[in-house]
Amino acid sequence: MTTATSTITRKAAEARLDSAVTPERFAQGMTEFKTWMAAIEKNKDSFQRHYDEFTPDATDIATLKRYVEEHGVKMLVLGEDWCPDVWRGLPVASKIGEQSGMEVRLFLRDQNKDMMSEFLKQGEFESIPTLVLYDRDHRYLGHWIERADQANEEMGPLREILAGVERDTPAWEAARAKYTEKTWELAEGWRQAQVREVIALLREALS
């Protein structure tokens, strides 16, 4: 499987020795999807729909369980409630944590900018969701950013729906609705691809 450097940062990437993500700080994150839902204000319906519609592949869950049992793999997630990629990606992270026994800690990005600064996309952008993997000794394994490669590839043609349409017009609203409908049609494939990329990251980091 080919993975894009914009999406996944491997173990080979430098982990900061003075990381803000200490074990103590990690433990302060929200542990359950329902706690996240209570903490946010916007787009709860979209978060819940992604959570409800996502069914992890049984083989993927078995693989993740093995990494949890053998290496104590755990995950930090940074997100915000206004971001469509977070609506999809954070529920995926929560559900695979629940089903694999992986400890997952959820953080609001804008309240934790010091942590976000360690995992910038291309060293510049505060892209979310950001998923950061550690082992049981809190050693950094790598991180995953924003969306799966499959989503990036399939999203490109969808943007043509919006091309050349003037914003804040009835035509824009209609085009935006069509674009959103198409992303929902593709969402399950993107959710499954996210899990496969997380597994690929772990496989490389722990091989």
22-46: per-residue pLDDT in tens? Answer: 999 999 999 999 999 999 999 999 9
Name, in order, each residue with C-beta under 8 angstroms of 54's C-beta and a sequence gap of 6 or more.
91, 92, 95, 188, 191
Per-residue pLDDT of the chain (207 residues; tens, 9 = 90+): 233 333 555 444 455 678 999 999 999 999 999 999 999 999 999 999 999 999 999 999 999 999 999 999 999 999 999 999 999 999 999 999 999 999 999 999 999 999 999 999 999 999 999 999 999 999 999 999 999 999 999 998 998 999 989 999 999 999 999 999 999 999 999 999 999 999 999 999 998
Q: Please give the structure tokens belonging to residue 120.
A: 């910038």
Distance CA 26, CA 106 (A): 9
DSSP character at residue 161 = G
Domain 8-149+194-206, classified CATH 3.40.47.10, yes or no: no
Q: Is the peptide bond before 129 cis (omega within 30 degrees of 0)?
A: yes
Beta carbons of 48 and 183 less than 8 angstroms apart: no
Letter for the amino acid at 59? T
Considering the entire predicted model, what is its pTM?
A: 0.91
For 203: left if phi > 0, alpha if psi spans -120 to 50, otherwise beta; the answer is: alpha
pLDDT given for residue 15 in this prediction: 56
pLDDT given for residue 18 in this prediction: 85
pLDDT given for residue 16 in this prediction: 65
Distance CA 94, CA 56 (A): 11
pLDDT given for residue 11 in this prediction: 43
